[in-house]
């Protein structure tokens, strides 16, 4: 493990890992549920140790990890494939396009990475219960990882979460509390719960190690490209924590002298869940009042990591854009039809965004290395794509009836 300190991303104060759990004690006092998080902490690693010890022939990823290996849950998380997708790339005018298929994590989404590290931290702290609010994926990730580690998962979830995700949580043995309301209501309730009744809160960005866990997706992209930084990574954005995590990977690499630049981050939001996009455009934060989208995993009124996501976009020289539900579902079909990768609507939003970028004046050149981060598996929600396709009717089992 790398010795690290927490640094407040707002005021810059430093804390030891034993002094704080969630937000900066100074800045966090101005946070209240219903606004983007204030005083989010980031882990500052010992760059010198990484620089002197990291060996590309035999990489020790523990150098980038904030929790000792002895506390890690047994479930194998991450190390998902980075697939080169030439057929899709040639349609988009890109000779070097990849998809990082994070739907192949054990619970079917990238969120396993964050749950893994927070459950490890709970074991280190001796906490028996981990609490989260989620639109579904973070909850099913927590349920799976907690089950493997023998830790209790308590989950607040909006009652409209897709059934496949609810089934995952309940089957894994989590305590599931469906909440009448939005994800934001569930988020607020989970904060009140841990403040008054205890347990470790895994809420995204609220617990700083969620960002560190998601960072591993970026580290893997770097390693899988032969220790090279891609020109751009396209990420769908809800709360802005995956975006922040991927950015942190390359910030850590640059601080340690292992990378000389940051990839441009392209953040893609659903049209009606676009708070971070508008924040990047105008510099003024405002909620997405009616975040209705079929891409449930990126549907959010008030993104918890809005400030961090905006900083990541600007620092990386990237951009944000929005896509419609129709564009998202079309991209989902195109991704599966060209690459064999089945991504849930929220994950396919990234491709929808790239399609839009490539049709406009700011398109990437053919030689640029572009990675689409596919954050969740398509089997998570099979209802959404059913609006676009029809399942053929059954025939009699006679050859004459087969009309193809
Ligand atoms: Zn602070």
In a domain, 135, yes or no: no
In a domain, 312, yes or no: yes
CATH number, domain with residue 240: 3.40.50.1100
374 is written with which tokens? 């596919």
In a domain, 179, yes or no: no
Q: How far is the CA of 395 from the centre of ligand 1 (A)?
A: 66
In a domain, 55, yes or no: no
**Range picked from 122-126, 290-294, 378-382 for highest mean pLDDT:** 122-126
Average pLDDT over residues 266-282: 98
CB 377 within 8 A of CB 109: yes
Range of the domain at 264: 82-107+208-387
Residue 246: predicted pLDDT: 98
Q: How far is the CA of 198 from the centre of ligand 1 (A)?
A: 23
Average pLDDT over residues 295-316: 95
Closest of 209, 170, 203, 172 to residue 72, by C-alpha: 209
Q: How far is the CA of 180 from the centre of ligand 1 (A)?
A: 33
Q: Which residue has the higher pLDDT, 390 or 91?
A: 91
Average pLDDT over residues 126-144: 94
Q: How far is the CA of 30 from the centre of ligand 1 (A)?
A: 10
Mean pLDDT score of the chain: 95
Q: How far is the CA of 38 from the centre of ligand 1 (A)?
A: 8
Q: How far is the CA of 9 from the centre of ligand 1 (A)?
A: 7
Q: How far is the CA of 32 from the centre of ligand 1 (A)?
A: 15
Q: How far is the CA of 285 from the centre of ligand 1 (A)?
A: 19
Q: How far is the CA of 248 from the centre of ligand 1 (A)?
A: 18
Q: How far is the CA of 35 from the centre of ligand 1 (A)?
A: 16
Residue 1: predicted pLDDT: 66
Q: How far is the CA of 356 from the centre of ligand 1 (A)?
A: 38
Look at the alpha carbons of 135, 141, 147, 149 in this order and tell me if their dihedral is positive or negative: negative
pLDDT, tens digit, for every residue of 336-360? 999 999 999 999 999 999 999 999 9
What is the distance between the alpha carbons of residues 266 and 243, in angstroms, rounded to a whole number? 9
Average pLDDT over residues 299-304: 92
Q: How far is the CA of 148 from the centre of ligand 1 (A)?
A: 35
Residues sharing a CB contact under 8 Å with residue 89, sequence separation 6 or more, in sequence order: 95, 96, 97
Q: How far is the CA of 234 from the centre of ligand 1 (A)?
A: 30
Q: How far is the CA of 18 from the centre of ligand 1 (A)?
A: 16
Question: pLDDT band at 36, cuts 50/70/90?
Answer: very high
Q: How far is the CA of 24 from the centre of ligand 1 (A)?
A: 5
Q: How far is the CA of 23 from the centre of ligand 1 (A)?
A: 8
What is the distance between the alpha carbons of residues 363 and 98, in angstroms, rounded to a whole number? 16
Residue 82: predicted pLDDT: 98
Q: Which residue has the higher pLDDT, 78 or 136?
A: 78
pLDDT, tens digit, for every residue of 87-101? 999 999 999 999 999
Q: Which residue has the higher pLDDT, 39 or 381?
A: 39
In a domain, 44, yes or no: no
Closest of 306, 328, 310 to residue 319, by C-alpha: 310
Q: How far is the CA of 238 from the centre of ligand 1 (A)?
A: 24
Question: pLDDT band at 292, cuts 50/70/90?
Answer: confident
Q: How far is the CA of 208 from the centre of ligand 1 (A)?
A: 13
pLDDT, tens digit, for every residue of 178-229? 999 888 889 899 999 999 999 999 998 999 999 999 999 999 999 999 999 9
Measured CA to CA in angstroms, residue 240 lies from 88, 323, 366 at distances of 26, 16, 28
In a domain, 212, yes or no: yes
Q: How far is the CA of 10 from the centre of ligand 1 (A)?
A: 5
pLDDT, tens digit, for every residue of 233-262? 999 999 999 999 999 999 999 999 999 999
Strand partners, 129: 152
Residue 75: predicted pLDDT: 98
pLDDT, tens digit, for every residue of 64-93? 999 999 999 999 999 999 999 999 999 999
Q: How far is the CA of 42 from the centre of ligand 1 (A)?
A: 11
Residue 34: predicted pLDDT: 87
Q: How far is the CA of 206 from the centre of ligand 1 (A)?
A: 13
Q: How far is the CA of 380 from the centre of ligand 1 (A)?
A: 37
In a domain, 328, yes or no: yes
In a domain, 56, yes or no: no
CB 287 within 8 A of CB 36: no
Residue 13: predicted pLDDT: 98
Report how many domains make up the chain. Answer: 1
Question: pLDDT band at 3, cuts 50/70/90?
Answer: confident
Q: How far is the CA of 43 from the centre of ligand 1 (A)?
A: 13
């Amino acid at each position: 493990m790398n010795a690290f300190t927490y640094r407040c991303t707002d005021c810059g104060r430093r804390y030891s890992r034993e002094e704080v759990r969630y937000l900066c004690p100074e800045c966090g006092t101005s946070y209240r549920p219903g606004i983007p998080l204030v005083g989010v902490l980031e882990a500052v690693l010992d760059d010198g140790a990484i620089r002197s010890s990291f060996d590309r022939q035999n990489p020790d990823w523990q150098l980038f990890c904030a929790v000792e290996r002895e506390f890690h849950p047994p479930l194998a998380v991450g190390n998902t494939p980075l697939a080169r997708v030439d057929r899709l790339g040639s349609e988009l005018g890109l000779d070097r396009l990849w998809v990082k298929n994070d739907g192949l994590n054990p619970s079917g989404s990238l969120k396993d990475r964050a749950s893994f590290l927070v459950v490890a931290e709970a074991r280190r702290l001796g906490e028996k219960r981990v609490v989260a609010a989620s639109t579904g994926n973070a909850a099913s990730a927590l349920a799976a990882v907690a089950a493997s580690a023998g830790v209790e998962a308590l989950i607040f979830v909006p009652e409209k979460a897709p059934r496949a995700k609810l089934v995952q949580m309940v089957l894994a043995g989590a305590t599931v509390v469906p909440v009448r309301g939005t994800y934001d209501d569930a988020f607020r309730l989970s904060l009140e719960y841990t403040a008054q009744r205890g347990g470790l809160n895994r809420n995204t960005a609220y617990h700083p190690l969620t960002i560190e866990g998601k960072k591993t997706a970026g580290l893997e992209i770097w390693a899988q490209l032969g220790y090279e930084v891609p020109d751009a990574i396209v990420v769908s954005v809800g709360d802005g924590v995956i975006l922040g995590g991927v950015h942190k990977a390359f910030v850590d690499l640059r601080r340690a002298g292992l990378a000389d630049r940051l990839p441009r981050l392209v953040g893609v939001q659903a049209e009606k869940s676009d708070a971070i996009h508008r924040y990047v455009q105008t510099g003024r934060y405002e909620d997405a009042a009616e975040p209705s989208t079929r891409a449930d995993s990126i549907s959010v009124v008030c993104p918890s990591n809005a400030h961090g996501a905006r900083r990541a976009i600007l620092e990386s020289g990237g951009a944000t854009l929005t896509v419609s539900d129709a564009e998202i579902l079309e991209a989902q079909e195109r991704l599966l039809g060209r690459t064999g990768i089945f991504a849930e609507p929220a994950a396919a939003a990234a491709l929808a965004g790239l399609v839009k970028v490539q049709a406009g004046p700011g398109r990437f050149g053919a030689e640029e290395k572009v990675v689409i981060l596919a954050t969740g598996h398509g089997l998570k929600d099979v209802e959404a794509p059913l609006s676009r396709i029809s399942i053929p009717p059954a025939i009699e089992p006679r050859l004459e009836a087969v009309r193809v």
